[in-house]
Amino acid sequence: MTRRRPLIFSAFNEFVLSHHDHGSWRRADSRQTELNTADAWVDLARLLERGRFDFLFFADVLAPYDIYRGSRDAAIATGMQTPVNDPAVLIPILAHATTDLSFVLTENILQEPPYTFARKMSTLDHLSGGRIAWNIVTSFLPGAGRNLGHDGLPSHEERYGRAEDYVTAVFKLWEASWEDDAVVADRVRGVYADPSKVHTIDHVGPYYTVPGPHLTEPSPQRTPFLFNAAASGTGIGFAGANAEVLFTSGGREQAPASVRQLRAAAVAQGRAASDVKILGGLGVVVGSTEEEARRLDAELRETQTLESILVKFSGFWQEDLDRYPAHATVAEILASTDPGPLLRQVLGSAPDPDADFATFARWAANRHAVGTPEQIADEIDAWQDAGVDGLNLQYLVSPGSFADFVDHVRPVLVDRGTMRADYGSGTARERVTDGGPFLPESHPARRHRAALARRREEDAR
Amino acid sequence: MTRRRPLIFSAFNEFVLSHHDHGSWRRADSRQTELNTADAWVDLARLLERGRFDFLFFADVLAPYDIYRGSRDAAIATGMQTPVNDPAVLIPILAHATTDLSFVLTENILQEPPYTFARKMSTLDHLSGGRIAWNIVTSFLPGAGRNLGHDGLPSHEERYGRAEDYVTAVFKLWEASWEDDAVVADRVRGVYADPSKVHTIDHVGPYYTVPGPHLTEPSPQRTPFLFNAAASGTGIGFAGANAEVLFTSGGREQAPASVRQLRAAAVAQGRAASDVKILGGLGVVVGSTEEEARRLDAELRETQTLESILVKFSGFWQEDLDRYPAHATVAEILASTDPGPLLRQVLGSAPDPDADFATFARWAANRHAVGTPEQIADEIDAWQDAGVDGLNLQYLVSPGSFADFVDHVRPVLVDRGTMRADYGSGTARERVTDGGPFLPESHPARRHRAALARRREEDAR
C-alpha cells in the first residue's frame, strides 16, 4: 500500500455544554458540565496535542437558537449551545498549556470594532507563538444582530459590504502598519521602535474609518491564519478571496462537488487552487470490534433528546421543525409544499423515505462513522479520496470521542500516512501549508504590504 | 504600637513596555522587553501572589500619545505605552497560573458592544473563580475615539450618557437575566437550565438596545468587582454611583481632601461612605540603607529619557510640553499665561520655583518614596492616616520594584498590621470588602435584581 499524504485534523468545538451532541453531557464519562472552568478544557487541549491534532476549533453563536417553537426555551432547557461563553479568553489558557496545538477563534465582523479586534488577534498571536487562526464569520442569527444593536440581521448586501470593509481595515493594521524592522529595542540609545517605520493606515471605508497605527508590534504571523465557513453560494466569493481554510458543505458524498466549487472560488479570485485547504466534517464512534462500536453508538443515542436535535436543526435549516408531526413520513413531507430548501435537501438524501420525522431527525443528527479503528480509517481515506485536505472532527461525547480517536484511530492513520507522526514547527500557517509564517503573496491582503513597500521605496528615492 | 488595619494592595501595570517608568526597560535586570510573551507576566503574577497583593491592575490606552510635538513619534521611539497589547487575553493566563491574586481589566465603554463585553467579563469571572474586576473608563484619548469610528472624542454629555446607558445594560445582563437557581444540570431528565428562570432584559436606552438574555450563566460575582478612576469633578457622580474602588487624585498631601470628595460622591448617590474603597498611588525605591536606596534611585533616573517623560505628561496634562524651553524656570512659566490648568496645578506644587523645566519634569516623574523598608512603611502608614483604604503601586522597574517591595517592605508592613499576613478566601469582592460575592444591596445595579425578584413574586401570585 502506498503511503498517503497527511491530512489536517481539527477538533470541532464551542465554549458550551453541547455543541453537536444532543445530551451526552448526561453520561458519567462526560466532562461537558465542567464548561465554565478551565481544567477540562486544558485536559482536552493536552489530549489533542498528544494526538497531534493541528487545531482546536471554537465555533461561536451570539444568541440562543429560537426558531423551534418560536422560543429560546428549548435551547436553554437542553443546553444546546446555550449558555455560550467567550472563547477569546479561554484560548490563551489553552495556548499557554500547550506548545504545538493551534486554536481557531470564531468572531463575527459585527461583533467589535476592527481596531480593537485586530489588537486582540495580534496579542493572541504573540502569546501563542503564532498558533492562532481567525474563523471569519459574516452572518449570524437575527437575535445576535439585535443584541449587538443592529436592527436584526443586516441585508446580505450590507453584510458583505461590511465584511469586505472590515477585513480590509484589519489586514492593513496587521500587514501595513509596523514594518518588519520597526522594533529595535536599543537599550543604549533608549529607543524601542523607529517611528519612521510605524505607519498610520488611514483607512476610510464605507462602514469603518480607522486611522491607526496598529497598537501592537508585528506578531509571528502578522495576519492570523484565516478560516471561513462559507461553503455555498452565499459568501463564497468572499471566502474564495480571503480564506486559507474552507469547509465542505454536506457529507462525504457531496464533498467532491463542494471541493471543486471552493477551489474554483479561490481561482476566480486570482489564487491557486492549492492556496486553500479544504476540510470536511465528521463525527466518529469507535470500538475495538464493530459490535462494540455499535453498542457505544446505541448508548450515545439513548442520551439524546429529540428536542435538542430539533432546536439545532430548526436553527440550521431556518424553519420551525415543530410543524412536522413526529409520525409524518419523509416521503409525505417531501410531497408537501411545506419544507424550505435546506430541509428539503436533507430530506432528499435520507436513506428511508418511509421513516417518520422523528426517526429522520435522529438520523440527520447521527450521520457519523461507527466502527473499528480500521473502518474509521477507511472512511477517512474515502474523505481524502473525495479531495479534502483535512477533517474537522465533531465529538459525540467529550472528551471520550477525542480520546477514542487519539488512542485507537490515530495509530492506524499514522501507519497509513494519513496523520502526521509528529508536529512540524513554527506558526499555525507554517505547520499546515507549504509557505512561511506570513500570508502568501497570492493572498489579496498582501497588496497592503506591497503598497507600503512601494511607498517606502519612493520615499527613499 | 497598636496594630494597624490591613490596606488593599494593587500592582499598577499595563500590557506595555513602559507604563509609568521612563526607560528602565534598558536595565539588565528588567524583563519589560519580554512584553509580548507570557512568561515574564506569569512570573510577575506569581511574585505578587507570593507577596499577597490583592490586585494586578491593567490600565489601557487605545491610541499612542500624540500631543507632544503634535506627533506619536516620541511615544513610539520611547515605547511609552506604545505598543499596547490587549490585557483581556493575558489575564486568563495569569489567573490560571495563580489561585488568590485578582485582576483588574480596564475597558472603555466605547470599546465594544455591551452584550459581548458582558459575556467576556462573565467568562473571565468564571475562569478566574471570581477574581476579576472591571475598571470602568468613560473617556479617552481623542485618537482612540477616531480609531473606534467616533468622530474624535464624543462630548462630555454624550460620554456620560453613553456610560450610564452602557453600565445599565451590562448590569441587567449580569444581575437580572439568569436567576440563581436557573441551572439545574439534571442528568436524569436531560435538562440543563430552567427556561422560566432565564429572562430577557429588554434594555432600550438612548444609545444601546439589548434584548438579551445574557449568554453566560451566573458567574461567581455576577457583576465583576468595579473600579473607576474618575477622581475629580468630571465623572465623579458616575464614579460615586457605580464604583466600588476609586482612586485619589494628586499625591499624599492632596489625599485627605480627595478621599473626602470621593466618599461624599458615594453618599450623594445614596450609598455609605464605607461602600467605596479608596486607593492612593505610590511608587517606591527600596534599599537596605537610605544610601543604597538613593543610589538605586539615581541609577533608575539615569535610564530615564526626558522625551519619554514629556510624552506622557503632554498626554496627561493635555498640552504640548515642547513649548516650554528646558531652561525656563517653574516661576517664569507660572507667571506666564501659557500653562493650562492641569500643568499649572503641578507647577504650583513643585518644591523649587527656580528649577528649570527639565528638572521640574523629572521631579514630576519621580515623586516616589525612596528609603529603607521602614521608611517606606512609614510613608505607607502616612497614606493610611490620610484616609485611603489601599495603594496602587507603580513600578520604577519591573519586576524589580515589585520584588523589592515583596521581599523587603512587605515583612515590615505585615509586622505593623498594614498588610495582610495571608489571603482571605472567595471572590475579589469578598477578599477586600466586608460583603459577600455579589454587589451589596446599596449598589444601584441591585435594583435590576430586585425588580426581577418583584416580577417573579407577582407571577407566582
Closest CA to A130 of A198, A41, A6, A223: A223
Do B89 and A85 count as a contact with CB atoms less than 8 A apart? no
Q: How many CB atoms lie within 10 A of CB A377?
A: 25
* Digit-coded pLDDT (tens) for A87-111: 999 999 999 999 999 999 999 998 9
Q: Which of B36, B127, B190 has the CB atom closest to A126's CB atom? A: B36
CB pairs under 8 A between A and B: 225
Q: Which of A23, A112, A215 has the CB atom closest to B84's CB atom? A: A215
Residue-level length of chain B: 461
* Digit-coded pLDDT (tens) for A376-393: 999 999 999 999 999 999
Q: Which of A96, A146, A148 has the CB atom closest to B93's CB atom? A: A96
* Digit-coded pLDDT (tens) for A180-223: 999 999 999 999 999 999 999 999 999 999 999 999 999 999 99
**Is the pLDDT score of B112 beyond 70?**
yes
ipTM of this predicted complex? 0.97
**Is the pLDDT score of B421 beyond 70?**
yes
% of chain A surpassing 90 pLDDT: 88
* pLDDT score of B233: 64
Using an 8 Å CB-CB cutoff, list chain A residues near B85. Answer: 119, 122-123, 126, 215-216
What's the whole-number mean pLDDT along residues B154-161? 83
CA distance B56 to B67: 29
Bridge-based pairing state of the strands B203-204 and B209-210: antiparallel
Q: Which of B86, B211, B219 has the CB atom closest to A146's CB atom? A: B211
What's the whole-number mean pLDDT along residues B64-83? 96
Do B148 and A116 count as a contact with CB atoms less than 8 A apart? yes
Do B62 and A217 count as a contact with CB atoms less than 8 A apart? no
Closest CA to B276 of B221, B238, B222, B234: B238
Chain region(s) in chain B for CATH 3.20.20.30:
8-289+370-460
**Is the pLDDT score of A10 beyond 80?**
yes
Q: Which of B93, B192, B214 has the CB atom closest to A78's CB atom? A: B192
What's the whole-number mean pLDDT along residues A342-357? 94
* pLDDT score of B159: 84
Which of A85, A109, A196 is the best substitution to test chain B (most B C-beta atoms within 10 A)? A85
**Is the pLDDT score of A313 beyond 80?**
yes
**Positive/negative CA dihedral, A312, A317, A323, A327:** negative
Using an 8 Å CB-CB cutoff, list chain B residues near A63. Answer: 215
* pLDDT score of B403: 98
| Structural contact between residues A223 and A130, judged by C-beta atoms closer than 8 angstroms | no
* pLDDT score of B160: 86
How many angstroms separate the CA of residue A426 from the nearest CA in chain B?
15
How many angstroms separate the CA of residue B185 from the nearest CA in chain A?
8
Do B127 and A91 count as a contact with CB atoms less than 8 A apart? no
* pLDDT score of A139: 74
Give the chain B residue nearest A91 (alpha carbons).
Answer: B89
* pLDDT score of B234: 65
pLDDT grade, residue B138 (50/70/90)? confident
Question: Long-range contacts made by residues A435-443, C-beta under 8 angstroms, separation at least 24?
Answer: A437/A130, A437/A220, A437/A221, A437/A222, A438/A221, A438/A222, A438/A223, A439/A175, A439/A222, A439/A223, A439/A244, A440/A275, A442/A270, A442/A271, A442/A272, A442/A275, A443/A242, A443/A244, A443/A271, A443/A275
Type of residue found at B413: L
Q: Which of A62, A73, A90 has the CB atom closest to B195's CB atom? A: A73
pLDDT grade, residue B34 (50/70/90)? very high
* Digit-coded pLDDT (tens) for B17-32: 999 999 999 999 999 9
> Mean pLDDT lowest for which of B42-51, B133-142, B289-298, B302-311?
B133-142
CA distance A276 to A265: 10
**Is the pLDDT score of A153 beyond 80?**
no
* pLDDT score of A233: 64
**Is the pLDDT score of B95 beyond 70?**
yes
Do B216 and A305 count as a contact with CB atoms less than 8 A apart? no
% of chain B surpassing 90 pLDDT: 88
Q: Which of B76, B214, B219 has the CB atom closest to A198's CB atom? A: B76
Higher pLDDT, A459 or A339: A339
CA distance B54 to B431: 8
Q: Which of A188, A212, A217 has the CB atom closest to B147's CB atom? A: A212
pLDDT grade, residue A410 (50/70/90)? very high
Give the chain A residue nearest B302 (alpha carbons).
Answer: A190
% of chain A surpassing 70 pLDDT: 98
Rg (C-alpha) for chain A, rounded Å, is 23
What's the whole-number mean pLDDT along residues A65-92? 97
Compute φ and ψ for A392, nearest 5 degrees: -100, 115
Closest CA to B201 of B218, B216, B213, B215: B213
Do B111 and A116 count as a contact with CB atoms less than 8 A apart? yes
Which of A91, A116, A204 is the best substitution to test chain B (most B C-beta atoms within 10 A)? A116
How many angstroms separate the CA of residue A126 from the nearest CA in chain B?
6
Do B211 and A143 count as a contact with CB atoms less than 8 A apart? yes
Residues paired with residue B191 on neighbouring β-strands, in sequence order: B186
Using an 8 Å CB-CB cutoff, list chain B residues near A73. Answer: 195
Please return the burial class of B3, using the count of CB atoms within 10 Å of its CB with bins 0-12, 13-18 and 19+.
exposed
* pLDDT score of A164: 94
Give the helix ranges, DSSP H, for A269-340: 290-303, 306-317, 330-335
Average pLDDT, chain A: 94
Do A113 and B112 count as a contact with CB atoms less than 8 A apart? yes
How many angstroms separate the CA of residue A282 from the nearest CA in chain B?
25
Give the chain A residue nearest B173 (alpha carbons).
Answer: A147
> Is the domain covering A8-289+370-460 a CATH 3.20.20.30 domain?
yes
pLDDT grade, residue A280 (50/70/90)? very high
**Positive/negative CA dihedral, B423, B428, B433, B436:** negative
pLDDT grade, residue B231 (50/70/90)? low
* pLDDT score of A250: 84
What's the whole-number mean pLDDT along residues B345-373? 95
* pLDDT score of A375: 98
Q: Which of A36, A193, A194 has the CB atom closest to B126's CB atom? A: A36
Give the helix ranges, DSSP H, for A51-155: 73-78, 91-96, 114-127, 142-147
* Digit-coded pLDDT (tens) for B187-209: 999 999 999 999 999 999 999 99
What's the whole-number mean pLDDT along residues A118-143? 93
Give the chain B residue nearest A93 (alpha carbons).
Answer: B93
Angle, helices A306-317 vs A341-348, to 10°: value is: 120
Which of B15, B76, B306 is the best substitution to test chain A (most A C-beta atoms within 10 A)? B76
CA distance B65 to B207: 28
Average pLDDT, chain B: 94
Do A209 and B37 count as a contact with CB atoms less than 8 A apart? no
> Mean pLDDT lowest for which of A63-67, B150-154, B157-161, B383-387?
B150-154
> Mean pLDDT lowest for which of A44-58, A157-171, A337-351, B132-146?
B132-146
Type of residue found at A426: G
* pLDDT score of A1: 58
How many angstroms separate the CA of residue B127 from the nearest CA in chain A?
5
How many angstroms separate the CA of residue B294 from the nearest CA in chain A?
22
How many angstroms separate the CA of residue A12 from the nearest CA in chain B?
20
| Structural contact between residues A459 and A288, judged by C-beta atoms closer than 8 angstroms | no
* pLDDT score of A101: 98
* pLDDT score of B144: 85
